[in-house]
Amino acid sequence: MHLKEKLVKEFNEGLPFHRWLGIEVVGVEIGSVETQINWREEFGHYPGYLHAGLVGTLIETACGFSGLTVTDEKHVATSFSVNFLRPAVGDIFLARAQVTKSGRLQIFTRCDLFVVSGGKERLVANGETIFCVLPEA
Amino acid sequence: MHLKEKLVKEFNEGLPFHRWLGIEVVGVEIGSVETQINWREEFGHYPGYLHAGLVGTLIETACGFSGLTVTDEKHVATSFSVNFLRPAVGDIFLARAQVTKSGRLQIFTRCDLFVVSGGKERLVANGETIFCVLPEA
Amino acid sequence: MHLKEKLVKEFNEGLPFHRWLGIEVVGVEIGSVETQINWREEFGHYPGYLHAGLVGTLIETACGFSGLTVTDEKHVATSFSVNFLRPAVGDIFLARAQVTKSGRLQIFTRCDLFVVSGGKERLVANGETIFCVLPEA
Amino acid sequence: MHLKEKLVKEFNEGLPFHRWLGIEVVGVEIGSVETQINWREEFGHYPGYLHAGLVGTLIETACGFSGLTVTDEKHVATSFSVNFLRPAVGDIFLARAQVTKSGRLQIFTRCDLFVVSGGKERLVANGETIFCVLPEA
């Protein structure tokens, strides 16, 4: 396990909200991260649909993890956005985030969210997160 | 309690994720809704900061409730976005959402998220949600 | 005419694209700016509708001007977004922008775009622009 | 030249603002479109930088063209957003748009904007446009 993978996994496991959600970090490369969760009834919005706020959480979180892989500088989220493309209904939700541009002042990331079912992936949402790099104190 | 207030409160109380968060509906007018939660440690991202995904959840949820007050048509979220303006640190988080435009096909809403402390409000985030009105079956 | 008003007006008049559009700066306060243009046939998208790119231009530009009023630091646009609320059809388009939050690293702004007709204003679009403050060389 | 290519090119050539910009449609496939413009001094924002509003225009326009290739239904823009990744400085600007999801009620599209120089492409901005499909009269 390389250094950045260790960092992302430890950060993920340290957050109680991520543990409640059961977020698992399933892939870490420099510039891209995959996470997934298993559906539970208590995540529902309309019956069987993953709550829009949790769709956003999975996207923003995976984006943030991808940012961790490209810089050691401290950075915070400026903004994030989510598009709901198809009903977020399924047993496994897989978030695949990547860094679009990592700069000195800002990091731009994007993420696709898939439902995995019977070994097939279906894109149900996508989104973006922009991070602002904090100057050293 | 008018009809729409009843509707929003029942919808809120029916969702397990909202009960976990402790979302309380504190104001319902036609076109605007206020909700709030009390901080708990398990909501944290960085120590003491409300998780970005929960900031998004509070904003998207209050936007959705405001949409419920202006139409009886079924509608689903198209997209939402969130801006992080100041550190989301505090004991009480108050979301104040309003409908910007309610049309035949789409509903545009926006929301400000405040930290309330010592009776004073501080704007920490804002965001938008767009909904698509579903045609009758 | 105060210093910031002079600055915004000179910046506006110095840009050939703004002169082609006929952007007029009609109000400058610290934290808010109003601009307007008069409709011309060549601005059309669908017949009689202001081109979506020009709706965006008016919003981004007014946001940028509002940013100029709150800081002397050099800043550049990170992102902007636009919502199309009603048909952008009319003789006069009025953009009213304001700073939501001006910080050390970032400036958040928003803008409403109105059609003015017979002395009445109708909101046709709104949007946001985030700016990143550049560190001194 | 297939039917959709003809449609997009005719739509493009019919718009005075596109002719002023010199937008050329250089590729049309079902679900994706490429357009480009040549830099002119009058497009400037800061010296040598393509105006943010024109960056938005190129992105929104190419997104709209990609939407035309996947449906015959009338549709209008709901919202669009733009991220500024690198300085938009160059002689040729190439917009590459694609449809992310085309549904019965909505069409989601995205676009990358490149500067082309010496045969090499550099990503300078990206963005999204959502369209709402209009019901038949």
The per-residue pLDDT for range B11-24, each reduced to its tens digit, is 999 999 999 999 99
Residue in C132, C133, C134 to test binding to A, most A beta-carbons within 10 Å: C132
Residues of B in contact with D132 (CB under 8 A): 105-106, 132
Angle between helices C52-68 and D52-68 (to 10 degrees): 150
In this structure, what are the phi and psi dihedrals at residue B99, rounded to the nearest 5 degrees?
-85, 125
Q: Rounded mean pLDDT of chain C?
A: 96
Of D85, D123, D130, the CB nearest to A83: D130
Residues of D in contact with C15 (CB under 8 A): 44-45, 51
Alpha-carbon separation of residue B5 from A40, B113, B130 (angstroms): 29, 20, 21
In this model, does residue C134 exceed pLDDT 80? yes
Alpha-carbon separation of residue A107 from B38, B49, C65, D35 (angstroms): 31, 20, 25, 27
In this model, does residue A119 exceed pLDDT 90? no
Give me the mean pLDDT over the D1-19 stretch.
94
In this model, does residue C14 exceed pLDDT 90? yes
Task: Find residue D36's DSSP bridge partners.
Answer: D24, D94
Query: Can you give the length of chain C in residues?
Result: 137
CATH at B65: 3.10.129.10
pLDDT of residue A47: 77
Q: Give CA torsion, residues A68, A59, A26, A48, to 10 deg.
A: 160
Counting one residue from A and one from D, how many pairs have CB atoms under 8 Å apart?
Answer: 28
pLDDT of residue A46: 78
pLDDT of residue A137: 65
pLDDT of residue C136: 78
In this model, does residue D137 exceed pLDDT 70? no
D111 belongs to a structural domain: yes
% of chain C at pLDDT higher than 70: 99
Considering only residues C117 and B24, tell me which one the structure prediction assigns the higher pLDDT: B24
Shortest CA gap C105–chain A (Å): 8
Q: Which domain holds residue D22?
A: 3-121
In this model, does residue A62 exceed pLDDT 70? yes
Q: How far apart are CA D18 and CA D58, in angstroms?
A: 9
Q: How far apart are CA B36 and CA B42, in angstroms?
A: 16
% of chain D at pLDDT higher than 90: 91
User: Exposed, middle or buried: residue D119 (CB in 10 Å: 0-12, 13-18, 19+)?
Assistant: exposed
Asked if C9 and C25 count as a contact pair (C-beta separation under 8 A), the reply is yes
Number of domains in chain D: 1
Residue in A45, A93, A132 to test binding to B, most B beta-carbons within 10 Å: A45
Confidence tier at C48 by pLDDT (50, 70, 90): confident
D99 belongs to a structural domain: yes
In this complex, do A135 and C135 lie within 8 Å of one another by their Cβ atoms? yes
Residue in A101, A102, A124 to test binding to D, most D beta-carbons within 10 Å: A101
Alpha-carbon separation of residue A97 from A117, A128, C15, D121 (angstroms): 20, 9, 38, 23
The per-residue pLDDT for range D77-92, each reduced to its tens digit, is 999 999 999 999 999 9
In this model, does residue D128 exceed pLDDT 90? yes
Alpha-carbon separation of residue A99 from A60, A127, B44, D125 (angstroms): 12, 12, 24, 14
Task: Find residue C112's DSSP bridge partners.
Answer: C96, C126
Residues of C in contact with A135 (CB under 8 A): 105, 135
pLDDT of residue D15: 96
Residues of B in contact with A43 (CB under 8 A): 16-17
pLDDT of residue B137: 64
pTM: 0.97
Taking the alpha carbons of A28, A33, A36, A42 in that order, is the dihedral positive or negative?
positive
In this complex, do D16 and C42 lie within 8 Å of one another by their Cβ atoms? yes
The per-residue pLDDT for range B64-115, each reduced to its tens digit, is 999 999 999 999 999 999 999 999 999 999 999 999 999 999 999 999 999 9
Q: A28-32, B36-40, C41-45, C100-104: which has the minimum mean pLDDT?
A: C41-45
pLDDT of residue C46: 78
The per-residue pLDDT for range A90-115, each reduced to its tens digit, is 999 999 999 999 999 999 999 999 99
Of A81, A100, A103, the CB nearest to D126: A100
Task: Find residue B110's DSSP bridge partners.
Answer: B98, B128
**Looking at beta carbons, which pairs linking A102-106 to residues 24 or more positions away fall under 8 Å?**
A102/A31, A102/A67, A102/A70, A102/A71, A103/A133, A103/D85, A103/D86, A104/A133, A105/A132, A105/A133, A105/C105, A105/C132, A105/C134, A105/C135, A106/A78, A106/A130, A106/A131, A106/A132, A106/A133, A106/C78, A106/C132
Asked if D120 and D63 count as a contact pair (C-beta separation under 8 A), the reply is no
